[in-house]
Amino acid sequence: MKIYSSVLLAIAFVGMAVGTAYAHGFGERYDLPVPLDLFVVGAAATVALSFVMIGLFVRSGSGGMRYPHYNLLRTPLLGVLISSPILHFLVRLASVALFGLVVAAALFGTDRPLENLSPTFVWVIWWVGMGYVSALLGNWWRLLNPWAIVYDWLHGLLGGGRESAMFTYPSRWDMWPALLAFLAFAWAENAYPSAAKPFNLGMMIVLYSIVTWAGMAAFGKQRWLARGEAFSVLFGFFSRFSPTEVRVANRRVCGSCESDCRLDEECVDCYSCFERAARVDRELNLRPYGVGLTIPKRVSLATAGFVVLALATVTFDGLSETPLWLDFQNLVYSPISTFGGNTTAAVNTLGLLLVPLVFLVVYLGFSWGVGRLSGTPASVQEVARTFVFSLVPIALAYNMAHFISLLVIQGQFIIPLASDPFGQGWDLLGTAAYRLNLTIINAKFVWYLSVGAIVLGHIVSVFVAHVISVAEVPDRKRALRGQYPMLVLMVIYTASSLWIIAQPIVD
């Protein structure tokens, strides 16, 4: 723990002058016009200045509920198209067919990762791409989730009618099953050395499918999607930043909601109620980016833990490419190697467990400062749960900065693989001869996109924290004073994020 605290502090208080950078995933080099430390200081200053501007001009204490929104379902032609059962069926059928193809390719295709559809699709197109779609467009995963679609179809074949769960979901479980499932996924992504092997990946998908379908059968589809299905939870968090939402106008529908939305002020982004509501009571709204994160919600300890874990794991993915992580590996490699097994995997597993713990301790520390300065009687845990969604834009920004080159460059592998998904030498679509275009984006573009995304993400986080604070603390002066620790945290993480992003491209 002491080592990790030192690592965190070293990352946070960056003052290194670096003159040359080249983008991760590129063979070229990019010379920064000014030293890296000036970029870091400028970005941190921009975030601090945004706090002043937001404090002066954003005075709403409505908790984010009052914002402009436009119902797309009431739009002529577009509303009819969006609501079309035929279109929904075709989209869902395509999702299940693609899911089946990915699993079949993983289990029965070549075991060479670059020649098999499944690793590229799962780790690049779906995992990275769906995060972008969820944040920038909306929660498409709720429409495309193949596990939910297959479950619905089987339920219909068995007679349909109102779904009844076999068991009552234990309230003490909360969202912990989804958190543990996501931690397992993060371990497979960052520590499991054979995750890219198609057959291993296929078996992981099969295992997760069995657990997901069993959970939905045991506790009900909506309850398990909201509490146990890791990706429904994660992409749901990301989509709260997006410019679209679902809303139910008739609150009587919420009386038997599995997601407890009846305890919220309005029924927003509750897909359980949305599915049950009459068509006339449904809304699919456009809204400003980011406001969904300020909507008052009952945030549990498990929910807060999931958000912190999501931020910590994507940061660990970047941190593992830095000299600091290499130094840590060298420090612990020998002691861990005495236990046998794959030492590198063991070291990465240790990091994947410790980094979220460090993030949690740091976040709780700043939450304590928020409570003290704002004069609120709330406990540290309550403050942390109240402000946790202000971390989501940071996770999104870092995710975009870290994975953009992976998606745009390595994602091109999907073009030839679409013609030969099993690696058998086919050319079904005439694209098997496609070769990667490494010049589609350059290092300069990636660097400035990363800087812009990280700075903008932290500014949105400052805005979200401000709106929540003003809603929670009636006294405006105390509310602003209470935001100082959160601002410091945002500034530190701005600097840390830029430093981490720069390390793989620093000479």
Q: Of the given ranges (15-24, 42-51, 403-412, 421-430), which has the lowest mean pLDDT?
A: 15-24
Mind listing the pLDDT tens digit for each residue in 349-378?
999 999 999 999 999 999 999 999 988 888
Q: Within 10 Å of residue 17's Cβ, how many Cβ atoms?
A: 9
CA–CA distance, 224 with 233 (Å, rounded to integer):
10
Tokens of residue 300, six digits: 């549990």
Tell whether the torsion through CA atoms of 443, 489, 55 and 62 is positive or negative.
positive
pLDDT of 474: 77
Compute, in degrees rounded to 10, the torsion defined by CA atoms 51, 54, 60, 64.
-80
382-391 burial code (b ≥16 CB/10 A, e <16) = bbbbbbbbbb
CA–CA distance, 120 with 198 (Å, rounded to integer):
10
Spatial CA neighbour of 388 closest among 237, 243, 271, 491: 237
pLDDT band at 20 (very low <50, low <70, confident <90, very high): very low
- Whole-model pTM: value is 0.89
pLDDT of 26: 46
- Confidence check: pLDDT of 5 > 50: no
- Confidence check: pLDDT of 176 > 70: yes
| Share of residues in the chain with pLDDT > 70 (%) | 88
Helix residue ranges per DSSP H, 109-145: 117-120, 127-136, 141-144
Q: What are phi and psi of 286, to 5 degrees?
A: -85, 140
Spatial CA neighbour of 434 closest among 420, 422, 451: 420
pLDDT of 156: 87
What kind and span of H or E run contains 285?
strand 282-286
pLDDT of 351: 92
In this prediction, residues 410-421 reach a mean pLDDT of 96
Q: Mean pLDDT, the chain, as a whole number?
A: 86
- Confidence check: pLDDT of 6 > 60: no
Q: Of the given ranges (129-138, 255-264, 428-437, 475-484), which has the lowest mean pLDDT?
A: 255-264
Tokens of residue 466, six digits: 């401000």
User: DSSP assignment of 127-186, as one string?
Assistant: HHHHHHHHHHT--THHHH-HHHHHHHHHHHHTT-SS---SSPPPGGGTTHHHHHHHHHHH
For residue 319, which amino acid is it? L
Beta strand spans in 128-269 (E): 244-248
User: DSSP assignment of 37-49, as one string?
Assistant: HHHHHHHHHHHHH
Tokens of residue 36, six digits: 């890296």
User: DSSP assignment of 294-311, as one string?
Assistant: GS-----HHHHHHHHHHH
Cβ 469 vs Cβ 487: under 8 Å: no
CA–CA distance, 318 with 496 (Å, rounded to integer):
11
> Of 60 and 163, which is predicted with more confidence?
163
In this prediction, residues 454-467 reach a mean pLDDT of 92
Q: Within 10 Å of residue 255's Cβ, how many Cβ atoms?
A: 8
How many Å separate Cα 411 from the centre of its chain? Answer: 19
pLDDT band at 293 (very low <50, low <70, confident <90, very high): very high
Tokens of residue 189, six digits: 């992504």
In this prediction, residues 47-67 reach a mean pLDDT of 74
Residues in the chain: 507
CA–CA distance, 484 with 479 (Å, rounded to integer):
9
What kind and span of H or E run contains 447?
helix 443-472
pLDDT of 14: 30
In this prediction, residues 107-114 reach a mean pLDDT of 96
pLDDT of 257: 75
187's CB contacts (< 8 A; 6+ apart) are: 349, 352
> Of 254 and 218, which is predicted with more confidence?
218
28's CB contacts (< 8 A; 6+ apart) are: 22, 442, 443
Q: What's 20's DSSP letter?
A: E
In this prediction, residues 322-342 reach a mean pLDDT of 84
Cβ 133 vs Cβ 403: under 8 Å: no
Whose structure tokens read 């980011």? Answer: 290
Residue 283, SS3 per DSSP = strand
pLDDT band at 4 (very low <50, low <70, confident <90, very high): very low
Q: Within 10 Å of residue 450's Cβ, how many Cβ atoms?
A: 24
Strands 244-248 and 282-286: antiparallel
Q: Of the given ranges (6-15, 78-87, 222-231), which has the lowest mean pLDDT?
A: 6-15
Q: What are phi and psi of 123, to 5 degrees?
A: -85, -20
CA distances 88 to 18, 79, 91, 140, 232, Å, are 52, 13, 5, 12, 18
pLDDT of 192: 92
32's CB contacts (< 8 A; 6+ apart) are: 18, 19, 20, 21, 39, 447
Q: Of the given ranges (69-83, 166-180, 234-248, 469-483), which has the lowest mean pLDDT?
A: 469-483
CA distances 443 to 95, 102, 318, Å, are 34, 32, 17
Q: What's 169's DSSP letter?
A: P
Residue 13, SS3 per DSSP = coil
- Confidence check: pLDDT of 60 > 60: no
101's CB contacts (< 8 A; 6+ apart) are: 117, 421
pLDDT of 33: 66
Whose structure tokens read 């006339």? Answer: 280
Spatial CA neighbour of 140 closest among 129, 155, 150: 129
pLDDT of 22: 33
- Confidence check: pLDDT of 491 > 70: yes
